[in-house]
């Protein structure tokens, strides 16, 4: 073990003590609220959905008399249907007027909430907010901010919080029920598996594996998640993979090596895949990241009215790069969304600008 690792361990102990105080304040806010809303960023992934469902169910278990609702403006990707998620979604969704506390999960800022924020700006601005997140780009300006960019998933932070609150006298007062039941554990494990790409990213540490082990001990069904999320592709999705791999291009600028590829609306329609389903094609950028000499890779999803690009790296800071294009995320995984179609010809020009 080198010296730096020892220093990191010691500073983590201090950090844990400091964050515990912050965790405990969450219970005061929860106890004081009558109607709670849980919201998250508009591109629903396994971590945001898992964190939301876990938080919602834990509050229901521990505070059965409180009203709690999870809201989103976008339908969750169909891959998560096996969970039968209990969330409210439709376009122009309005947050209930009686909501007196909002828990915002896995969202770096209010703009990331997308249309949900646009439609409910007044309500969201005036309501108390708890911010739980792991994006390095998080604004941290809400009433309570529990932000740890060293955590590989928001679900890992939610677990740390719920583990402490579970045995808090105020939570025990309401019910003797175990707040983290098998379903809460399942949702949290889903967040960790999906955001860490099954523990592959550098931020997945011994602590992450320990949390995952604890969740499995609490009866999270790991195999149910693996079979439904990772081993559940339609043949057409593998054909899309073939297209993406066939189109790989190398781009080098200032000594930085990038490999990129794309797929577009036409590809998806030809294959009978739903362009609105944000999960389709999602794992493909990780395959590009297998290229050994890539400093970073990116995959462009070119839809008729919207373009999203996902960046991945092994060490290169793609968050900094994405921020130059008004996006963000994490050091090794980041993304940008444009509200317009971008042509293939424009891609390298954009890359040239930001490298």
Can you give the binding site for Mn ion, defined by CB under 5 A? 47, 106, 154, 195
CB of residue 192 to Mn ion, shortest distance in Å: 10
CB of residue 45 to Mn ion, shortest distance in Å: 7
CB of residue 177 to Mn ion, shortest distance in Å: 28
Beta carbon nearer to Mn ion, 106 or 160: 106
CA distance 230 to 210: 22
Minimal CA–CA distance to 58: which of 188, 212, 181, 189? 181
CB of residue 84 to Mn ion, shortest distance in Å: 22
69, 180 Cβ separation under 8 angstroms: no
CB of residue 333 to Mn ion, shortest distance in Å: 9
Cβ neighbour number for residue 246 with a 10 Å cutoff: 8
Beta carbon nearer to Mn ion, 105 or 351: 105
Beta carbon nearer to Mn ion, 47 or 267: 47
CA distance 59 to 54: 9
CA distance 43 to 116: 12
Beta carbon nearer to Mn ion, 261 or 278: 278
CA distance 209 to 331: 20
CB of residue 189 to Mn ion, shortest distance in Å: 14
CB of residue 50 to Mn ion, shortest distance in Å: 9
Question: Which residue of the chain is nearest Mn ion when measured via CB?
Answer: 47
Cβ neighbour number for residue 328 with a 10 Å cutoff: 21
Pairing of strands 249-253, 296-302: unpaired
135, 149 Cβ separation under 8 angstroms: yes
Cβ neighbour number for residue 285 with a 10 Å cutoff: 22
**How far, CA to CA in Å, does 88 sit from each of 74, 93, 145, 277?**
10, 8, 25, 17
Beta carbon nearer to Mn ion, 195 or 267: 195
Bin 255: left if φ > 0, else alpha if -120 < ψ < 50, else beta.
Answer: left
Q: Please tell me whether residue 271 adopts helix, strand or coil conformation.
A: helix
CB of residue 215 to Mn ion, shortest distance in Å: 16
Torsional sign, CA 149, 106, 48, 68: positive
Beta carbon nearer to Mn ion, 42 or 106: 106
Beta carbon nearer to Mn ion, 49 or 218: 49
Beta carbon nearer to Mn ion, 155 or 347: 155
């Amino acid at each position: 073990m080198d010296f730096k690792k020892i220093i990191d361990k010691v500073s983590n102990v201090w950090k844990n003590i400091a964050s515990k105080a912050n965790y405990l304040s969450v219970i005061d806010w929860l106890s004081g609220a009558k109607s709670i809303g849980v919201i998250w960023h508009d591109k629903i992934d396994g971590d945001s959905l898992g964190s939301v469902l876990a938080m919602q169910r834990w509050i229901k278990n521990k505070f059965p008399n409180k009203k709690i609702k999870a809201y989103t403006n976008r339908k969750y990707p169909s891959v998560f249907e096996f969970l039968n998620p209990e969330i409210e979604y439709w376009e122009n969704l309005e947050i209930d007027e009686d909501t007196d506390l909002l828990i915002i999960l896995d969202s770096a800022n209010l703009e990331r909430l997308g249309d949900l924020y646009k439609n409910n700006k007044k309500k969201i601005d005036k309501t108390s907010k708890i911010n739980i997140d792991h994006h390095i780009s998080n604004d941290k300006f809400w009433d309570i901010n529990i932000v740890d960019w060293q955590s590989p998933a928001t679900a890992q932070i939610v677990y740390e919080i719920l583990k402490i609150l579970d045995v808090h006298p105020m939570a025990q007062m309401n019910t003797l029920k175990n707040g983290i039941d098998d379903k809460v554990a399942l949702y949290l494990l889903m967040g960790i598996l999906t955001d860490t790409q099954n523990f592959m990213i550098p931020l997945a540490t011994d602590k992450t594996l320990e949390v995952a082990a604890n969740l499995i001990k609490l009866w999270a069904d790991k195999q149910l998640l693996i079979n439904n999320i990772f081993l559940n592709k339609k043949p057409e999705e593998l054909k899309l993979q073939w297209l993406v791999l066939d189109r790989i291009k190398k781009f080098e600028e200032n000594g930085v090596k990038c490999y990129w590829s794309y797929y577009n609306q036409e590809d998806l329609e030809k294959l009978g895949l739903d362009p609105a389903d944000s999960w389709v094609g999602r794992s493909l950028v990780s395959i590009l990241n297998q290229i050994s000499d890539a400093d970073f890779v990116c995959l462009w999803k070119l839809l008729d009215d919207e373009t999203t690009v996902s960046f991945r790296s092994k060490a290169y800071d793609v968050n900094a790069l994405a921020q130059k294009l008004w996006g963000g995320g994490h050091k090794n995984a980041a993304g940008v969304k444009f509200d317009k179609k971008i042509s293939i010809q424009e891609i390298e020009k954009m890359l040239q600008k930001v490298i």
